[in-house]
Structure 1
Amino acid sequence: MNVYNSLTRRVEELKPLEGNEIRLYTCGPTVYNFAHIGNFRAYAFEDILRRVIQFNGMKIRQVMNLTDVDDKTIRGANAAGVALTDYTKTYKDAFFADLKKLNIQPAEVYPAATDHIPEMIALVQKLMEKGVAYQSEDGSVYFKVREFPGYGKLAHIDFDNQRTGLRCAADEYDKENVGDFALWKAWEESDGPVGWDSPWGRGRPGWHIECSAMSMKYLGETFDLHTGGIDNLFPHHENEIAQAEAATGKEFVRTWMHCAHLRVNGEKMSKSAGNFFTLRDLLEKGYTGREIRYVLINAHYRTGLNFAFTALEDARKALDKIDRCVAQATDGEAPEWATKHLQDFADAVNDDLNLPRAFAALFELVRDANGKGAAGTLGVFKRMDEVLGVIFFENEKKEEEIPAEVKALLDARAEARKSKNWAESDRLRDEIAALGWAVKDSKEGQTCTKKQ
């Protein structure tokens, strides 16, 4: 299994540092709002990575953090007029519900930042003792980037072109503003009741120290793999490396992997542009978690993904094509041509998670199964789906009973479509949607599924 390592900028073999287990840390959500589809592109990539590791017979221990105290969560709680814990719980619960809808496998551990303040304070203390951190006049504690020789090795920063003596209290900034970053933030009036006592006074951890402390607690001082969105590479992941390696004197992480941005119709997603979508927004439009997952994983993780509603429609058609083939598939010894497609699939996913090639192998299997017969191919489809998580097995489907009221509306809609009364058909579809059911039309007729 080969993957692209952002640290070395090379494709390298991924193999466990110890035994047969990959220890993986993934940057999880900041729980200040519902996660958007750009976030879920990264989480879907990490799910594919996890599944490919297991596909190759390795074990995995995945830790995904929940950032439940930072600048954004505090601002959100203050604006809502509620306690920070109550505010973030809403979005934690929503996040886990969304993961299920996208068939994303759960991590082994989901540590929340607010449950690990002692570990963060201990790590800051160690950095102070090592002489790479200092307390400023405002009471906050900062990391001295010039005191750590390896700073910039992940983001490839050229310090000769940097201004010196800068200090940055914000959690996020760009490479043109490299400076000492906050490990511990002194309490401010805007923090309200949020704060913890420390050797440096009341305050709260900086965002970057949270991940260094929690990852090392659950995975050790050196572990195999760390992932996140490309926007996490700098400053967050760069700062994680600096904190951990300055404290321990050891290599922090062997392999770093980053997922490229998602854009909507070729533009950066933003609320002001009207192209900002959460998973819930798409589900309310009648799309399924399965269709959304298909779109999120269909492109290579290191290339930008352009999200469009036409892609969701294409996903619906592609999945329907797969479903109709799989419905004919049976157990038994796989024909030689099917095992060849499975080998092509395995070669693709082991080549830096090349999902476009993997999907090509899947559709070659569908084509041949349709032409040569699907006997003995069910096991091959299932093996591929161990990675993809989108193939639908008719015999494993648990149908939800459609209520009589909805059935009556469906019958009326079928009659309206038969008589080409499209306005009435649309009205009935909306009425069905209001009852929590989504109608899909195809050349075979209409199907109705419970909204997720």
Structure 2
Amino acid sequence: MLKVFNTMTRQKETFEPMTPGVVTMYVCGPTVYNYIHIGNARSAIAFDTIRRYFEYRGFKVKYVSNFTDVDDKMIKQAKKLGITVPELGDRFIKAFKEDTAALNIEPATVNPRATEHINEIIEFVQDLIDKDYAYPVDGDVYYRAHKFAHYGELSHLKLDDLEEGASQHTADEETARKEDPVDFALWKGAKPGEISWPSPWGAGRPGWHIECSVMSTHYLGDTFDIHAGGEDLVFPHHENEIAQSEAKTGKTFVHYWLHNGFVTVGDENEKMSKSLGNFVTVHDILKTVDAQTLRFFMATTQYRRPIQYSQRNLDTAARNLERLQTAYDNMGYRLKDAEGGHDPKTDQEVRQIVANYMDVMDDDFNVQNGVAEVYEVARLGNVYAERPVVFAGTLSFIRKTLTDLLSVFGVELQEAAELADQDIEDLIAERIAARKNKDFLRSDEIREQLKNQGIILEDTPQGTRWRKGN
């Protein structure tokens, strides 16, 4: 039975979708004024992994993730670059899709842009005004937070204790125009020269929070299964989404709220921030870090836990990934001389590992325990491939299980390409150097890699010789 941790109730709950076999899921996407940073990637990878697990379990997932393509940051950056806000949005939406494709993140069912839904946003805001949940002032429109009885339930904060200016999207000069300091903007009047759209309250643009309420309900309905994002969005963004949406519809907005943990940088576990100078974009990281290694590293930390981005952790992920690939290659090599049929006992061991994998992944997507079961599949495959007699059906079953389970983490193993003679010589030279440096782990890995390609090494007093096996 699949359970998820619901931020609203702060406990694990049995997941029961509104429509059997179908998951409706909205994940807050980036503001597209720059390349996505590692924190954005963490969220995208975490919820893509969750989506993939739902699909592995047989669910159909309708996955919506937005682009915020107009706000203060975008207006400032577009001016700095001497381009329009739409041009800026186009540029970094393209970059987002390139970076996420490199990380093997499945495309969303829909990637709506805020600027594509301006008329709906205006209608939504007008509805809140008509219901007395919102009020216009000098071209702006604000939401009456105190009027919504359940405000603060998601973040577990008391409205009366919230400090003025809690939202980073609320400027100090707005305070004087509000009825209450904690009210928040639904519509922002345009300043001279800014991008804007006509509205009943004057030319302006949407507030930050309203766009997600409009786009999520447009594509998923007034109520849907899962709303997800980084834990920094719990307040005020998601809190405000609930207030807006439920005031308008009179219905429960979302059944399950999922939030991923922060990213820290370096071995000192320092929180990532621009002010500390440790802010890193995926665009830059992928110049030096293998995309599949980065994906594997981030996908194998449980989504609610903080994740420590460091070279040491990346190196560990790379080694673990290489061992999985080696196990896959080893089994592939043994298929050449395998007999037809199956080994029922080994097949049953594989099925038990899969059952264990599903048990731990059903527990709020516990990927750390899940990947431990993946390693167990690889271990079993290595042991089985060493037997004098192996069966093709069982080898193929183990290999497919390994690839199926890894696909949940967004990792794809590759069929081994035949090595050229120079590649073999280069690997042997690397192995000799590793042995001189007493790096016996790397030495053994190279021997195993060559063995999986049918290359037999013979260490002699005159040096290492090699030959191709049968």
Please say if residues 36 and 278 of structure 1, whose CA atoms lie closer than 8 Å, have aligned partners that are also in contact: yes
**CA–CA separation in structure 2 for the residues paired with 1:442 and 1:284:** 29
Contact 2:300 2:409 in 1 (8 A): no
Q: Is the partner of 1:99 in helix, strand or coil?
A: helix
- Percent sequence identity is 38
Among candidates 179, 182, 199, match of residue 182 of structure 2: 179
Tell me if the contact between 1:196 and 1:203 (Cα under 8 Å) persists in the aligned partners.
yes
Shift of 1:100: 0.8
Aligned to 1:87: 88
Give the partner amino acid of 2:40. Answer: N
CA offsets 1:97-121 (integer angstroms, 9 cap, x no match): 1111111111110000011100100
How many angstroms does 1:415 deviate by? 11
2:312 equivalent among 307, 310, 313:
310
1:188/1:385 CA distance change after superposition, 3 Å:
same
Distance 1:121 1:344 in 2: 50
Can you list the C-alpha shifts for 1:280-327, whole angstroms capped at 9, x where unaligned? Answer: 222212x21100001111211111111101111111111110001112
Cα distance in structure 2, aligned partners of 1:416 and 1:18:
59
> Which deviates the most, 119-128 or 11-20?
11-20
Cα 1:356–1:217 change in 2 (3 A) is same
Partner of 1:361: 373
Q: How does 1:366-445 map to 2 (within 5 A)?
A: 366-373=378-385, 375=395, 376-394=397-415, 444=446
Q: Which SS does the other structure have where 1:122 is aligned?
A: helix
2-structure distance, mates of 1:129, 1:441 = 73
Residue 273 of structure 1 aligns with which residue? 276
Report the alpha carbon displacement of residue 144 of structure 1 after superposing the two structures with TM.
Answer: 0.3
Which residue does 1:343 correspond to in 2?
A: 355
Q: Contact between 1:322 and 1:391, CA under 8 Å: does it hold in 2?
A: no
8 Å Cα contact 1:381/1:391 also seen in 2: no
Aligned to 2:103: 102
Deviation at residue 391 of structure 1 after TM alignment: 4.1
Matches within 5 A, 1:5-16: 5-16=6-17
- Provide the TM-score with structure 2 as the length reference: 0.81
What's the counterpart of residue 143 of structure 2? 143
Match of 2:290 in 1: 288
Q: Relative to structure 1, is the Cα distance of residues 172 and 382 closer, same or farther in structure 2, using a 3 angstrom cutoff?
A: farther
Matched-pair contact (CA < 8 Å) for 1:103–1:389: yes
Q: 1:167 to 1:296 in 2, by over 3 A?
A: closer
Correspondence for 2:436: none
Mapped to 1, the partners of 2:250 and 2:197 lie a distance apart of 28
Runs of 5+ unmatched residues, structure 1: 421-439, 448-452
2 CA distance for matches of 1:158 and 1:323? 51
Q: What is the alpha-carbon distance in structure 1 between the residues aligned to residue 215 and residue 73 of structure 2? A: 20
Counterpart of 2:74?
73
Corresponding residue pairs, total: 410
The structure that has the greater radius of gyration is 2
Deviation at 1:380, TM superposition (A): 1.2
1:418, CA displacement in angstroms? 9.5
Kindly state the Cα deviation for residue 270 of structure 1 after the two structures are TM-superposed: 2.7
Counterpart in the other structure of 2:454: none
Task: Name the residue aligned to 1:38.
Answer: 39
Match of 2:176 in 1: none
Deviations 1:174-216 (A, max 9, x none): xxx9700000001113xx2400000000000001000000111
Closer, same or farther: CA 280–15 of 1 in aligned 2, 3 Å: same
Name the aligned partner's letter for residue 248 of structure 1: T
For the residues of structure 2 that align with 1:89 and 1:267, how far apart are their CA atoms?
33
TM-score normalised by the chain length of structure 1: 0.84
Shift of 1:160: 4.0
Task: Report the Cα offset of residue 127 of structure 1.
Answer: 0.2
Moved over 4 A (4+): 166-170, 330-334, 410-420, 440-443
CA distance in 2, matches of 1:72, 1:270: 16
CA–CA separation in structure 1 for the residues paired with 2:276 and 2:162: 34
1:386 alignment partner, SS class: helix
The answer (yes or no) to whether the contact 1:325–1:370 under 8 Å persists in 2 is: yes
> 1:279 and 1:128 mapped to 2: Cα distance?
41
- The answer for the alignment partner of 1:129 in structure 2 is 130
Label 1:414 to 1:327 Cα distance change in 2 as closer, same or farther (>3 A).
Answer: closer
Question: Aligned-pair distance for 1:354?
Answer: 0.1
Q: CA RMSD in A?
A: 2.9
Change over 3 Å in CA distance of 1:305–1:168 after alignment to 2: closer
Q: Please point out which of 169, 187, 191 is paired with 1:188.
A: 191
Pair 372,418 (structure 1): closer, same or farther in 2 beyond 3 Å: closer
- Aligned amino acid, residue 147 of structure 1: K
Shift of the 260–169 alpha-carbon distance from structure 1 to 2, 3 Å rule, reads: closer
User: Matched residue of 1:364: which SS?
Assistant: helix
| Matched residue, 2:329 | 327
Greater Cα offset, 369-378 or 143-152: 369-378
Residue 300 of structure 2: aligned partner? 298
Verify the 8 A CA contact 2:146 2:159 in the aligned structure 1: no
Partner of 1:27: 28
Q: 1:414 to 1:328 in 2, by over 3 A?
A: closer
Report the AA paired with residue 144 of structure 2. Answer: K
**Following the alignment from structure 1 to structure 2, what is the Cα–Cα distance between the partners of residues 178 and 227?**
27
**Does the C-alpha gap of structure 1 residues 391 and 178 become closer, same or farther in structure 2, counting only changes over 3 Å?**
farther
Structure 1 residues 412 and 33: alpha-carbon distance in aligned structure 2, compared to 1, 3 A threshold: farther
In 1: Cα distance, 2:413 partner to 2:150 partner: 48
Measure the CA separation in 2 of the matches of 1:184 and 1:261: 30
